[in-house]
Chain A
């Protein structure tokens, strides 16, 4: 059985190589990870960015509102453009020291070399993706949004009380369903449907008064799929339960991950992220908070 031997030998060699590579890969991470005492590890001059002294940030082309307005991240207009510049500032880079590159969503989440320091493009943090790439701390907790069509009885609703008698549609097995039964609690049973397309169809048929989607889907649906679609507002985050979260994407084992995460944490702690969310998602994009 010569072939069997070859496989076994290959396995032994492979394991040895992996061990050596693993040890090598660990080494830079240890030096780069921010230590509680060494405050300089995350100082701008110590950051091993792609281009020294500059921060290269990626997003998709085209990128859409409300994340980036007019497909022009340099303008700092839009939630993700603003967050990207806030993170850059937190790391010590001026606006002029930020370079934008365009990377398709699916290319970014593949393993392999990256030509950016971090990518901001509504990447949900999942364990599967962590196998291939690094994520920073989350900069956004995905919210649930009520959507309707012009002329619907709930089109002008401003509070959850206004939705009490609404027939709401939702896709089965989603966080949006939980938002209806746990937070909105309407008196009418919701229409529980198989797919978001079915929800959109019923909304345009008028067989339901409104629907609940997560925020990115809600923006997409009102912009693309649903004629006369309007966003009513954001549902308050339910108690407990982990929502879907967006993180900045970095190369696997990037030396920057620790410092970028620290910058995001600082922005969350000082309220910058909440302010940007209110500014770009609630005010400019028109998804006010339902009280």
Chain B
């Protein structure tokens, strides 16, 4: 035990020293590069960063709200499509075809084009009660991301061994009950890491809605950059996005570790 602890301490110290060396080397190289002064003025100007921070934060708030609504919508729609795709009875064949083509089309279609169709095409129909471009953009995001999430959910559902279903049905559970109490809990737990991964990606993609006119964090930074010929606002927005992603990424990692531990424990017993 003592030997093990010593080994751990040694490896931690080695890691710390090596990290410090690499960090110093990188910092030294960048700061001493011939163009560093110019880069510093163009990308890391504290005054410009401070001036545009409020506008970028205001934009980021739009990103956050969109992320929450689109994530909920995409998860719900994705799960529904996955359930339809895994329906077994042949009478549901048309539904299955529909769900399958949906995942094929919207995983293949570039998000930006789906967005364009929704925010520029749909209002052009001039139908009564057309929602605002913000809502239409949100719908486009939900449609695209639910196609990805549906496939993740389906992988999870199909990874549950058929014997589980058979056992559940033989106990007298209905199809619905089998899905609800036996299959889905296992499926969702297994695919939680990739789903959270998709949500992190969604967090960055919700900003694409700015092509419809609403000013998100990146657009606010773009406006600042156009006004000052200085890229600092982009760096500010980038840092804010990373900060925003950290909780989600941390949760993803924690879930992955927990799942791995649980599965290895299952294997051991």
Binding site for B on A (CB under 8 A): 169, 172-174, 177-178, 189-194, 198, 201-202, 204-208
Contact = CB atoms under 8 A, between A and B. Distances in A.
Given A205-B123, A205-B124, A169 B213 contact: yes
Interface in B220-260: 222-223, 225-227
Contacts of B206: none
Contacts of A178: 227
Most chain B CB neighbours (cut-off 10 Å) among A173, A190, A198, A207: A207
30 contacts: A169-B213, A172-B219, A172-B223, A172-B226, A173-B223, A173-B226, A174-B226, A177-B223, A178-B227, A191-B133, A191-B213, A191-B214, A192-B215, A193-B212, A193-B213, A194-B211, A198-B120, A198-B211, A201-B124, A202-B123, A202-B133, A202-B213, A204-B124, A205-B120, A205-B123, A205-B126, A206-B123, A207-B119, A207-B133, A208-B213
List of 8 A-B pairs having minimum Cβ-Cβ separation, nearest first: A191-B213, A173-B226, A205-B123, A205-B124, A201-B120, A207-B123, A207-B133, A192-B215
Nearest to A167: B213
B210 interface: yes
A206 B126 contact: yes
A191 B123 CA distance: 15
A177 B224 CA distance: 11
B219 A202 contact: no
B223 A207 contact: no
A178 B124 CA distance: 28
Mostly, the B contact residues are helix
A191 B212 CA distance: 7
Interface string B79-111: 000000000000000000000000000000000
Contacts of A192: 210, 213, 215, 219, 223
Nearest to B210: A192
Contacts of A207: 119, 123, 132-133, 213
Nearest to A193: B213
A205 B124 CA distance: 5
Contacts of B212: 191, 193
Contacts of A193: 211-213
Most chain A CB neighbours (cut-off 10 Å) among B123, B213, B226: B213
Contacts of B223: 172-173, 177, 192
B111 to A, nearest CB: 15
Contacts of B225: 173
Interface string B116-147: 00011001101000001100000000000000
Contacts of A191: 133, 212-214
A204 B120 CA distance: 10
Nearest to B124: A205
Most chain B CB neighbours (cut-off 10 Å) among A173, A192, A201, A208: A192
Contacts of B119: 207
B4 to A, nearest CB: 58
A199 to B, nearest CB: 9
A116 B258 CA distance: 80
B120 A202 contact: yes
A171 to B, nearest CB: 10
Given A191-B213, A202-B133, A207-B119, 6 more contacts: A190-B213, A191-B133, A193-B213, A202-B120, A206-B123, A207-B133
Contacts of B215: 189, 192
Contacts of B124: 201, 204-205
Interface in B45-91: none
A56 B223 CA distance: 44
